[in-house]
C-alpha cells in the first residue's frame, strides 16, 4: 500500500512538471501550483544533454526537443570590430554525447514538460503558498488566493528564490553562495546581422555579451557581468540602467543592443548564485531543482540536474511506497555528491565565461583556440560533459504519455540504461 499519495508541488518550471510526471508514474497524486498566471515564455536558451536528456527520452520528448531546439555549430569570440579572435566548432559536444545534445529555450523545455502533466494532474496557476504547517499525518497549506488545503507531502520546485525553502528552512542568504556575477537576457525581433547556429560572444574584462539567432526573425542577447558584492537593482528600469552603465563603453554591437534593451518589455535579470543546503528536506517537505541545489548557469546543466533530482525523488518515493523519511534520505544519498561536484565545476568555470582581466580574456581565448588541436577539446570538455552518475532504475507503474517501452514497469533490467 502506497502511503502519502497527495503531493503538492510548488513551481511549474523544469523540476516541477518532471516531478509530477514521475510521481504520477509511481502511483501518486501530484497537484501543481505556479505563481505565474500562465506558462512562462521567452527567457534564455539552455544546452541540454546528459541525464536530463535521458529522462526526457524516457518521457517520450526526444523528437519534440530536437524539433524546437537548435544545433549550434560554432562558438565564436569576436573583438570590438566583430572580427573573430577565438572559438571552436561545437561538434565535440555532439561527438561526446553521441548526438544527444541540443540547445533550446528554457521556456520551451518547460512547456514540453508541462504538456506531459497538464490535463492529467491538477494545476493551479496564478497562486502561491504563503503558509505551511506540518501536522502529524499531513501538511496544511495556506494559499495566497485559494484558501487552505491538506496534502500528505509538499515539494518546493520553485527555483533559486524558492518560497517553500524560505517558509520551511529560513531566508535565502543562509544557503546562497553569490558567485560575483549577474546575468540578464532578452529577445528582439528584426535584429541584424543573423548568424544561424553560431553563438557569438564579445568580451571585455568582467563583462560578456552574447548573441544567438533564434527562429522567427528573433535574436537572443545574454549579458554576464561581474558585480562584486553590490546589491542588485530589483526593478526592470533600474536593471536596464545598470546594464547600460556597465556596457556603455563597449564596442562591437553594444550600443545597438543597448538600444534594443531600451525597447524590450521583458527582461530576465538575476544574480549568479548557487544554493548549498545541509539537507534538502524537513519533515514532510522536500526541495528539488534550483530550490534545493542550484548549480547556476555556469554549470550549463541546471535544467538537467533539476530533472534528475525530480526523477530520483519520485523514484525513491515510489521505491519506499511513500514512506517519506526513507525516500528523502535516499534521494540525498543518491545525488548529493554528484551535485557538489557540479557546483565545484561551475565555480571553476566562472572565470572562463567572463574573465575579469585583459590577461584572463587573452588566456581564455588561447585555450579556446587550442581546441582545434585534435583530441584536446575532447579531453578538456569530456571531463565536464560526461556524467559520472548512472540514473537509478525504479519500478514505475504506468507512465502516461511516455514513449512505449521507454518507462519500464517492474521488474526492470539494469541493462536497459
Ligand X SMILES: Cc1cc2nc3c(=O)[nH]c(=O)nc-3n(C[C@H](O)[C@H](O)[C@H](O)COP(=O)(O)OP(=O)(O)OC[C@H]3O[C@@H](n4cnc5c(N)ncnc54)[C@H](O)[C@@H]3O)c2cc1C
Give the residues lining the site for ligand X (CB under 6 A). 10-16, 33-36, 40, 44, 46-48, 106, 128, 157-159, 163, 183, 185, 289-291, 297, 300-304, 306
CA distances from 72 to 328, 373, 381 (A): 38, 20, 16
Judged by beta carbon, residue 128 or residue 387, the one nearer ligand X is 128
DSSP per-residue codes, 164-226: HHHHHH--GGGTEEEEEEEEEEEEEES-S---TTEEEEEEETTEEEEEEE-STTEEEEEEEEE
Judged by beta carbon, residue 126 or residue 279, the one nearer ligand X is 126
CA distances from 89 to 32, 94, 372, 374 (A): 41, 10, 8, 12
CA 240 – CA 261 distance, rounded (Å): 7
Sort strands 122-125 and 129-134 into parallel, antiparallel or unpaired: unpaired
CB of 372 to ligand X, least distance (A): 23
Judged by beta carbon, residue 176 or residue 393, the one nearer ligand X is 176
CB of 15 to ligand X, least distance (A): 4
Judged by beta carbon, residue 35 or residue 324, the one nearer ligand X is 35
CB of 294 to ligand X, least distance (A): 6
Judged by beta carbon, residue 107 or residue 204, the one nearer ligand X is 107
Q: Which helix (H) or strand (E) holds 351?
A: helix 324-353
Residue among 218, 212, 207 at smallest CA distance from 251: 207
CA 143 – CA 367 distance, rounded (Å): 51
CB of 1 to ligand X, least distance (A): 31
Buried b (16+ CB within 10 A) or exposed e, 378-407: eeebeeebebebebebbebeebebbeeeeb
Judged by beta carbon, residue 53 or residue 85, the one nearer ligand X is 53
CB of 239 to ligand X, least distance (A): 14
CB of 194 to ligand X, least distance (A): 21
C-alpha cell read off for 208:
560578456
CB of 139 to ligand X, least distance (A): 15
**Residue whose C-beta lies closest to ligand X:** 13
- What phi and psi values does residue 76 have, to the nearest 5 degrees? -120, 125
Q: Quick check: 41 and 131 in contact, CB under 8 A? A: no
Q: Which helix (H) or strand (E) holds 12?
A: none
Judged by beta carbon, residue 234 or residue 415, the one nearer ligand X is 234
Amino acid at each position: 500500500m502506497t502511503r502519502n499519495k497527495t503531493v503538492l508541488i510548488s513551481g511549474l518550471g523544469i523540476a516541477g512538471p518532471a516531478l509530477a510526471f514521475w510521481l504520477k508514474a509511481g502511483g501518486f497524486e501530484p497537484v501543481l501550483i505556479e505563481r505565474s498566471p500562465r506558462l512562462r515564455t521567452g527567457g534564455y536558451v539552455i544546452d541540454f544533454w546528459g541525464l536530463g536528456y535521458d529522462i526526457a527520452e524516457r518521457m517520450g520528448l526526444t523528437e519534440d526537443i530536437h524539433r524546437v531546439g537548435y544545433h549550434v555549430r560554432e562558438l565564436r569570440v569576436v573583438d570590438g570590430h566583430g572580427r573573430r579572435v577565438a572559438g571552436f566548432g561545437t561538434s565535440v559536444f555532439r561527438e561526446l554525447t553521441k548526438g544527444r545534445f541540443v540547445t533550446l529555450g528554457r521556456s520551451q523545455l518547460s512547456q514540453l514538460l508541462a504538456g506531459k502533466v497538464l490535463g492529467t494532474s491538477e494545476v493551479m496557476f496564478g497562486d502561491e503558498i504563503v503558509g505551511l504547517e506540518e501536522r502529524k499525518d499531513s501538511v496544511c497549506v495556506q494559499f495566497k488566493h485559494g484558501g487552505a488545503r491538506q496534502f500528505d507531502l509538499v515539494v518546493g520546485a520553485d527555483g533559486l528564490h524558492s518560497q517553500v525553502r524560505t517558509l520551511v528552512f529560513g531566508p535565502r542568504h543562509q544557503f546562497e553562495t553569490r558567485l560575483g556575477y549577474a546575468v540578464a537576457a532578452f529577445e528582439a525581433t528584426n535584429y541584424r546581422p543573423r548568424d544561424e547556429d553560431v553563438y557569438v560572444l564579445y568580451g571585455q574584462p568582467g563583462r560578456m555579451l552574447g548573441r544567438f539567432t533564434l527562429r522567427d526573425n528573433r535574436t537572443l542577447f545574454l549579458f554576464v557581468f561581474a558585480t562584486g558584492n553590490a546589491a542588485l537593482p530589483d526593478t526592470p528600469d533600474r536593471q536596464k540602467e545598470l546594464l547600460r552603465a556597465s556596457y556603455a563603453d563597449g564596442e562591437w554591437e553594444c550600443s545597438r543592443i543597448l538600444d534594443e534593451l531600451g525597447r524590450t518589455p521583458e527582461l530576465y535579470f538575476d544574480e549568479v548564485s548557487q544554493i548549498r543546503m545541509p539537507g534538502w528536506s524537513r519533515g514532510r517537505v522536500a526541495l528539488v531543482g534550483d530550490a534545493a541545489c542550484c548549480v547556476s548557469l555556469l554549470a550549463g546543466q541546471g535544467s538537467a540536474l533539476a530533472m534528475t533530482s525530480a526523477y530520483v525523488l519520485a523514484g525513491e518515493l515510489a521505491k519506499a511506497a511513500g514512506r517519506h523519511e526513507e525516500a528523502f534520505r535516499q534521494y540525498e544519498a543518491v545525488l548529493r555528491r554528484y551535485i557538489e561536484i557540479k557546483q565545484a565545476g561551475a565555480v571553476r568555470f566562472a572565470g572562463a565565461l567572463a574573465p575579469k582581466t585583459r590577461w584572463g580574456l587573452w588566456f581564455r581565448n588561447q585555450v579556446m583556440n587550442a581546441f582545434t588541436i585534435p583530441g584536446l577539446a575532447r579531453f578538456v570538455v569530456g571531463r565536464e560533459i560526461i556524467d559520472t552518475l548512472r540514473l537509478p532504475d525504479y519500478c514505475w507503474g504506468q507512465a502516461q504519455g511516455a514513449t512505449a517501452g521507454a518507462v519500464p514497469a517492474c521488474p526492470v533490467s539494469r541493462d536497459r540504461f
